[in-house]
Amino acid sequence: MTAQWKYVILKSGDRLEFVEMPHEYAYQLSALILRLHKELGKLTAGNVPSLPMVVGECERLELHDDQCATSGGLDYINRLERSFASIRETAYPLIALLTEIRALQAQLEQWYEEEGAGEPHGQGT
């Protein structure tokens, strides 16, 4: 079965990143990042990671600029989980945010196992 992919477009400063997601999970990544943005201001730790803004989603992507990065969805969510797990927060229940990240992480891992997709298309590019 051929997977249908969708790209979540992220912007950090003047840098764009395109995260390749299974079609049915792209919206979840967008919603998760938007939710994390709402909560970032409540964190008091000094090592809060910067988080890109979600600027859109698309089903097809043809890049002509080598400066633009494409990441696999599982690869991206693993990096996101590591960055939030390293926060040393004492005043905010960080576990709630980590639970949301890890839930999507587990869903993606299961999706790749069930689809037999092996490595995502965008992983490592």
Tens digits of residue pLDDT in 64-102:
988 887 999 999 999 999 999 999 988 888 999 999 999
Instruction: Kindly report the average pLDDT of the chain as a whole number.
Output: 89
Q: Domain of residue 86: give its range.
A: 5-115
Q: Which helix (H) or strand (E) holds 120?
A: none
Q: Is residue 43 part of a domain?
A: yes
Residue 120 lies in a domain: no
**Whether the predicted pLDDT of 2 surpasses 60:** no
Asked whether the beta carbons of 17 and 69 are under 8 A apart, the reply is: yes
Residue type, 109: E
pTM (two decimals):
0.86
In a domain, 125, yes or no: no
Residue 71 belongs to some domain of the structure: yes
Distances from the Cα of 42 to the Cα of 37, 91, 111, angstroms: 10, 9, 32
pLDDT at residue 114 tops 80: yes
**Is residue 124 domain-resident?**
no
Residue 36 above 70 pLDDT? yes
Structural domain tally of the chain?
1
